[in-house]
Amino acid sequence: MDPFYGPGRNQLFVPGPVNIPEPVLQAMNRNNEDYRAPPVPALTKKLLADVPKIFKSTTGTPFLFPTTGTGAWESALTNTLSPRDRIISFEMGQFSLLWIDQMKRLNFDVDVVHCEWGTGVDLEILRTKLEADKEHKVKAICCVHNETATGVTNNLAAIRTVIDDCMHPALFLVDGVSSVCAIDFRMDEWGVDVALTGSQKALSLPTGLGIVCASPKALEATKTAKSLRVFFDWNDYLKFYKLGTYWPYTPSIQLLYGLRTALDLIFLEGLDNVIARHSRLGRATRLAVEAWGLKNCTQREEWYSDTVTAVVIPPYIDSTEIVKRAWKRYNLSLGLGLNKVAGKVFRIGHLGNLNETFY
């Protein structure tokens, strides 16, 4: 059976986070409102109370920026660090690479650990570096939880264990753009100091919200962080939190109402049930790929992602052509291979508003 054109193909090639739930669309279908009028602060107050729940945090302070994950990255870095501070970061795919590029352009001293694409964080390298850092010059460890380019999920609990074993005080900053609300994420338990996600992935919203959650340790770090920040300054937000108006500038009203409904849907299903659903869909996708006789880009089972699967194709096929054919012939959206894996893999997204009967 041809895996690309055989019966049942649409049940196997599940689309990514483009399917916005109808209740969310309805919630966003509204005119603009004055963000200083009573309804918006009331809405924001409830959102700020509920957003930490998706990170499984009771101590984190949330920030909702009208931006993308890239802006959330910058917020995490500039609010907690100073220029020339040393960061350990792991390059294992396109999005970890882009975050590292941002770190360098923001004038941080980045110690890049280059990993083979398709593998995760090398814990022994991290341990060696932290044990050697007797003067605690390393101020932060940055990790992409789920590398979307290769379908690799890193073990955050294991990274925290290494940090604690070395008794190192570095901040732990984590990109959860394609994991939060889909893969188990325990901010407090795993000692994550800044966690971030975006609206367009497992929350099943349009792009436009960068969601950040900061630990008490991260908030304390803002007092000494000297990086230039304006739009992403947490202190501006905190000032308006105290005033009860919440916004230092105009937010996206429609996205706030959409976020409210998206959270309600997640809480109705139950966050752990949502995570279990993604686990089932991820395993089903990997079994389908195996049945086709194709390989997963992710090299070990411990790194398999429950939100995206990167499929390695035979070397005589250009994966870009598969993505084009799927779109033109079947109206089906697959992800391109990026950078080092361009033309070598295509990516199947299985996150957000999807279930076993969706096709």
Of residues 55, 61, 67, 48, the one with CA closest to residue 260? 48
Q: Regarding beta strands 308-312 and 345-349, do their DSSP bridges make them parallel or antiparallel, or are they unpaired?
A: antiparallel
CB 300 within 8 A of CB 119: yes
Q: Rounded CA gap, 210 and 79, in Å?
A: 15
CB 232 within 8 A of CB 71: yes
Q: Rounded CA gap, 274 and 183, in Å?
A: 9
What is the separation, in whole angstroms, between the first and last Cα of the chain?
20
Q: Rounded CA gap, 22 and 183, in Å?
A: 23
Q: Please name the residue that has the structure tokens 């889909």.
A: 182
9 is in an annotated binding site: no
Cα-based distances in Å from 167 to 141, 202, 289, 303, 322: 14, 34, 42, 26, 48
- Residue ranges at the known binding site: 347
- Residue ranges at the known binding site for substrate: 347
